[in-house]
Structure 1
Amino acid sequence: MTSDPKIIVALDYATTEAASALVARLDPQLCKLKVGKELFTAAGPAWVEHLVGQGYGVFLDLKFHDIPHTVAQACKAAAALGVWMVNVHALGGRAMMSAAREAIDATPNRPKLIAVTVLTSMGANDLADLGISEAPQQLVRRLAGLAHSCHLDGVVCSAQEAAVLRQEQGPDFCLVTPGIRPASAAKDDQNRVMTPAEALRAGSNYLVIGRPITQAPDPLQALQAIRQEIATIGDSK
């Protein structure tokens, strides 16, 4: 790829037909694509290779979490698909993350390897059910530090966590931020909304954006509008 787009479009679809219709209206020079569990289960590895063959950087968002050997082999298989980025779950622990990183490092076309810390759907009560008394934000910071010490490339984090993680983990640690709303989008009933420009200023490297692009009347136009919004910030990162 000749460029490094900061926007990752989330292909949150149940079928390849729906996802392909959206992909056909985008441009691999303007965005990357995220394939998650639902679409990967429906479409399979061959479809991921198809996206890579079209020139897209693909973030394979499967959050591997298993014994170290199994996760290492899964990461190796993901790398063989030619994906740009793959992730594991940091709660798998040091041995698992280290095994994943060693497997990735041994591949000829090494993808970025990042970790999910605490799912955004989980609050303090959910963690307490698991016997974890630490506040979600503190656990995110601790797991991000663990991922960094295992030499992973970065983590998925909320925009609200980006600034402190950037300060704690340094300039080279990759922060991938989901849940971004463009400045032009309605906030609806959400109070803690961060725009793409704000997220990049806070320290995010890549922005995962779904519905503001995928449900727009003209997805390419919506993508270009967001790119324009972040142009002076994104191009400097």
Structure 2
Amino acid sequence: MTEVLPARERIALAADLPLDEGLRLYERVAPHVGYAKVGLSLFVEHGPPAVAAFQRLGARIFLDLKLHDIPNTVELAAARAGALGVSLLTVHAAGGESMLRAAVKGAREGALAKGHAAPRVLAVTVLTSLSAEEVAAVGLPGTPEEAALRLARLAVGAGVDGLVCSPREAAAFRRELGPTPFLCTPGIRPAGAAAGDQSRAETPAFARRAGADLLVVGRPIHTAPEPLAAARAIAEEVSSA
């Protein structure tokens, strides 16, 4: 079984907004949201100061860069990320075993050099935006769920700490890989919310019951008339699940 934690420690705000706006939003919803996810757009524009800004608000940082390059380059980038004191860092499982091992090594060494706890390195399996047709078009055989499980086995064998998958794959990952991998599920949409560009979205309760450790929520909070109320409702649903 996964560890029992307060609901806020299982929710990450996808801060895919202008930095000032993202900081204001996180500050509002922080009573119910423990992580801030700093993704490519924020990091490309602001770099490490974006991470530091959310840390000053007490957020644990999910640095979602989805690193995918030759092993040496990924190791160097992961070391820089570890040195920032982030809690989570993403890489692409499709980068292969050598790259994944390099990412773990770099993240741990970078954190150690600065006196931080090592971040969990999470391998992205199949993007939640990809439909079955798109998965086939990029050359991955089988269903998205089958492709994701193959990549998950590879990544866990390479020593990563966890996996990023859609809520629909989480239960299969738990059955196949056991309780140890930390499972992060984007594509979270409360009942009645628009799916947007997520092809394999599910509700917070579905994700938790499937075994997800961390749920990433963006637009259902960003676009809510009352973001704090939306975050509270999601936290309550996570607790009840």
What TM-score bracket applies, with the shorter chain setting the length?
0.7 to 0.9
Equivalent pair of 2:62/2:89 in contact (CA under 8 Å): yes
State how far apart, in whole Å, the 1-side matches of 2:189 and 2:139 are.
33
Give, as a single letter, the amino acid of the residue that structure 1 aligns with 2:37.
Answer: K
2:154 to 146, 154, 170: 146
**1:222 lines up with 2:230 in the alignment:** yes
Task: Give the percent of matched residue pairs that are identical in Structure 1 and Structure 2.
Answer: 44
Query: Using a 3 Å threshold, how does the CA distance of structure 1 residues 192 and 90 change in structure 2: closer, same or farther?
Result: closer
The structural deviation recorded for 1:214 is 1.4
State how far apart, in whole Å, the 2-side matches of 1:35 and 1:47 are.
7
1:112-155 Cα deviation digits (max 9, x unpaired): 10011122333454445444434332221011001111111111
Query: Using a 3 Å threshold, how does the CA distance of structure 1 residues 150 and 219 change in structure 2: closer, same or farther?
Result: same
Mapping for residues 11-30 of structure 1, pairs under 5 Å: 11-13=15-17, 15-27=18-30, 30=33
Equivalent pair of 1:162/1:204 in contact (CA under 8 Å): yes
Corresponding pairs, count? 230
1:79-131 Cα deviation digits (max 9, x unpaired): 11111100100111000001111222333220110011122333454445444
The structural deviation recorded for 1:225 is 1.6
The structural deviation recorded for 1:25 is 1.4
Query: Using a 3 Å threshold, how does the CA distance of structure 1 residues 47 and 28 change in structure 2: closer, same or farther?
Result: farther
State how far apart, in whole Å, the 2-side matches of 1:86 and 1:5 are.
16
State how far apart, in whole Å, the 1-side matches of 2:199 and 2:98 are.
38
Query: Using a 3 Å threshold, how does the CA distance of structure 1 residues 94 and 192 change in structure 2: closer, same or farther?
Result: closer
Q: Which runs of 5+ in 2 are unaligned?
A: none
State how far apart, in whole Å, the 2-side matches of 1:29 and 1:74 are.
31
| TM, length-normalised to structure 2 | 0.86
| TM, length-normalised to structure 1 | 0.88
Q: Which runs of 5+ in 1 are unaligned?
A: none
1:143-200 Cα deviation digits (max 9, x unpaired): 10011111111111111111101110110111111111224x3457999652211210
1:34 to 4, 29, 37: 37
**Over aligned residues, Cα RMSD in angstroms?**
2.4
SS at match of 2:65: strand
Q: Which runs of 4+ in 1 moved over 6 A?
A: 188-192
